[in-house]
């Protein structure tokens, strides 16, 4: 088997269901020069795995150090802030992210506070740098990472036009897949995490891409051939079984946590003692929504920009 130039892409979403914060859709492109039997175990040893097990709100330090190590050794990037990070791996421009922003104070909630990196602890240490270097030694290089963000207002506007979060997620996945295919310079296998246990994606794909060919539709895997992109498969528990999906999920979860941190700091400046919230459906998030209500009203921040 020729392993001199093989690419594999993995995509996943983070934050499809929360009350607050953006949904992130992330793609990673791996360039491989070794067989699966070599590089996949190396990815597991490096700590690339199920983001649900590795990432938890309030304890992102280990993941942050690994992500920053990969950015450094694989992509030659050392972003010192969230804005600099998005300049490296963001799928959309800053102008596109702000396209739906109203006038007034609401944009400050999402963009005003600078978030220095690392945000959740110390910079990468020898452990994380060695892990990122071991990936290279095992024949796997992270060639590109792209993260798309859909803010609360974007999701609310889409919902008002009868487009679900799944629709937004799928459109972003295909857009990122096309971008990674351009980088690879060839059609490539794209592995995506399944969305909400869905089995059939063909009808939804037809609205986004001409003439998708259905290859397989089972509870575990739904696969399609998209002309000009390659084979796109949606895999159940993909971030636990496929390192390309898992790496995308780690980056996506990290970016989502950084955006939630920025929202928190905006309100904490006015509300001393405010507790950080994950944005998911939990009691802390409910208290965060209640605690910020008067500040949002006084500053003219509409609910459409804040809560989904």
| Tens-place pLDDT, residues 65-77 | 999 999 999 999 9
Share of the chain above pLDDT 70, in %: 95
What is the predicted pLDDT for the residue at 1? 39
Share of the chain above pLDDT 90, in %: 90
158 CB contacts (<8 Å, ≥6 apart)? 150, 164, 165, 167, 168
Distance CA 115, CA 120 (A): 10
Distance CA 153, CA 303 (A): 9
| Closest residue by Cα to residue 63 from 195, 256, 275 | 256
The first and second tokens of residue 65, run together, are 């150090």
| Tens-place pLDDT, residues 88-122 | 999 999 999 999 999 999 999 999 999 999 999 99
Domains of the chain: 6-305 (3.30.420.10)
What is the predicted pLDDT for the residue at 53? 62
What is the predicted pLDDT for the residue at 54? 63
What is the predicted pLDDT for the residue at 196? 76
Confidence grade of residue 5 (pLDDT, cut at 50, 70, 90): low
| Tens-place pLDDT, residues 146-196 | 999 999 999 999 999 999 999 999 999 999 999 999 999 999 999 999 987
């Amino acid at each position: 088997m020729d392993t001199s130039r093989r690419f594999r892409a993995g995509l996943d979403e983070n934050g499809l269901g929360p009350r607050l914060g953006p949904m992130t859709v992330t793609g990673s492109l791996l360039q491989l020069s070794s067989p699966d039997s070599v590089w996949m175990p190396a990815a597991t040893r490096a700590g690339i795995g199920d983001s649900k097990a590795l990432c938890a709100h309030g304890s992102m330090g280990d993941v942050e150090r690994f992500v920053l190590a990969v950015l450094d050794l694989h992509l030659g990037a050392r972003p010192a802030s969230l804005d600099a990070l998005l300049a490296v791996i963001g799928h959309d421009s800053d102008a596109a992210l702000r396209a739906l922003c109203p006038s007034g104070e609401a944009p400050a909630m999402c963009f005003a506070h600078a978030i220095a990196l690392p945000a959740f602890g110390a910079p990468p240490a020898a452990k994380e740098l060695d892990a990122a270097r071991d990936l290279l030694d095992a024949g796997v290089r992270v060639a590109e990472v792209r993260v798309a963000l859909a803010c609360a207002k974007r999701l609310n506007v889409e919902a008002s036009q009868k487009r679900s979060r799944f629709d937004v997620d799928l459109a972003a996945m295909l857009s990122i897949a096309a971008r990674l295919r351009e980088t690879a310079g060839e059609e490539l296998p794209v592995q995506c995490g399944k969305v909400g246990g869905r089995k059939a994606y063909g009808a939804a794909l037809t609205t986004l891409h001409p003439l998708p060919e259905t290859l397989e539709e089972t509870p575990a895997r739904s696969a399609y051939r998209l002309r000009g992109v390659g084979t796109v498969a949606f895999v159940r528990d993909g971030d636990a079984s496929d390192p390309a999906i898992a790496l995308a999920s780690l980056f996506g979860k990290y970016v989502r946590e950084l955006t939630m941190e920025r929202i928190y700091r905006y309100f904490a400046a006015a509300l001393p003692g405010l507790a950080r919230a994950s944005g998911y459906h939990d009691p802390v998030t409910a208290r965060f929504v209640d605690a910020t209500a008067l500040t949002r009203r006084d500053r003219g921040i509409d609910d459409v920009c804040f809560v989904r």
